[in-house]
Amino acid sequence: MHISIRLRTILILACLVGVSSASDQIPGAMPKGPVAIVGATIHPVSGPAIKQGVLVFEKGRITAVGDKVPVPKGAQVIKANGKHVYPGMFEPYSRIGLTEISSVRASNDYRESGSLNPNVKAHVSVDPDGEIIPVTRSNGVLLTMTAPAGGLISGQSAVLQLDGWTYEDMTVLPRAGMIISMDSQEEKERLAEFFDEARRYNQGQEAKSKILHDARLESMDKVLSGEQPIIIHADRANDITRAITFATEQEVKLVIFGGYDAPQCRELMKKYDIPVIVSAIHRNPRRRDDPYDAAYTLAKRLQDAGIRFCISGYERSNAWNVRNLPYHAATAVAFGLSKEEAMRAITLSPAEILGVADKVGSLEKGKDATLILCDGDPLEAATQIQSAWIAGKPVDLSNKQTMLYEKYQQKYQQSKK
């Protein structure tokens, strides 16, 4: 019995080591001086493209961008004639950093027990060494909102940049949104009771009353003050209407995640300026009698309805294939959305909706130098991301898949000799 227990322990430890193996990529280091990308077509997203442009960044921030920008003396010059520069793409809803292998329980850390967990913070549980991170950024997706799941209140999502030694290095905004589930009128009433309790608690705190500390109720402060939105997954029209009613009753900011029937609720959505995170373009129709392309045309229909939106790939893949985000946007283009709006939907629009547009999402002076250099349109599968920077630091675009490709290329070349 003693030997079998030891053997079992060794096997468990070996499995855990395998699950938690770190990626080989080393986080980038800040360049010592300014960096100038010269000759590329620059796509700021917030404005028209600049042909034969110059973009300069230093100490992590963009210092100049335009067609007649002087190159600073002593700058590292990157000649990029014929290339294209875009902001790093932004996945607005994912589990990156909280999950690695879905079938291995030990590598999943996105759900807590209990139904009311507003004090849960996603960013502190992020694994900076996950293998999914370098795979994701190799296709130009450099930013993500990572969200917890489970219960009525899952916890607080965080905006992350996909490079760094620690979760502190990666965190752009630690409290981006409060993730809430509300699938029935009963759940709405239960949540309303909790919100009222949290409001009384915060009023007591402000009045310096002698009350017992409660981390859950205290964590609702930014939601109740309107600084932090609640993000509710709702696809059907009645669920969207219920979510909007709840938000207006509680006087809090709301973001709808999913939004399949949002065009049917256009009057309410526009009246209260409720944005939508489209949970995926590559998904099935929700009802048997829906048009086959209902999900593909959703982004265009939201635009036509005047509803703010951004595009996610969560419902298709919440972590391991986030790299396919640009192809969700590309499908929206094939079904009516303009290329410019599609690119905006995976760069600047998520930054605006999640409250980080002052830092990321477009190529403008003063913003973080989080950008990609590629040989074509990122929405095209044939386009190669050739270089990337996150907050001014160069990013290693290799990953376990490119390393395996190179390994077996060598094998096949040797076998031909």
- Encode pLDDT of 133-172 as tens digits: 999 999 999 999 999 999 999 999 999 999 999 999 999 9
pTM over 0.85: yes
Per-residue pLDDT, 12: 42
Question: How many Å apart are CA 330 and CA 313, to the nearest integer?
Answer: 12
Burial 100-110 (b: 16+ CB within 10 A, else e): bbeeeeebbbb
Confidence label for 24 from pLDDT (cuts 50, 70 and 90): confident
Greater model confidence, 305 or 112: 305
Residue 23, pLDDT > 70, answer no
Per-residue pLDDT, 414: 83
Per-residue pLDDT, 6: 45
- Alpha helices by DSSP H, 105-231: 132-137, 167-170, 185-206, 215-218, 221-224
Question: How many Å apart are CA 377 and CA 391, to the nearest integer?
Answer: 22
Residue with tokens 């074509």: 376
Which of 47-56, 104-113, 373-382 is the least confident region? 104-113
Burial 223-257 (b: 16+ CB within 10 A, else e): bbeeebbbbbbbbbeebbbbbbebbeebebbbbbb
Per-residue pLDDT, 22: 60
Nearest C-alpha neighbor of 377 from the set 336, 330, 331: 330
Q: Which strand (E) or helix (H) includes residue 339? A: helix 339-344
Question: How many Å apart are CA 203 and CA 225, to the nearest integer?
Answer: 11
Tens digit of each residue's pLDDT (9 = 90 or more) over 354-409: 999 999 999 999 999 999 999 999 999 999 999 999 999 999 999 888 888 888 98
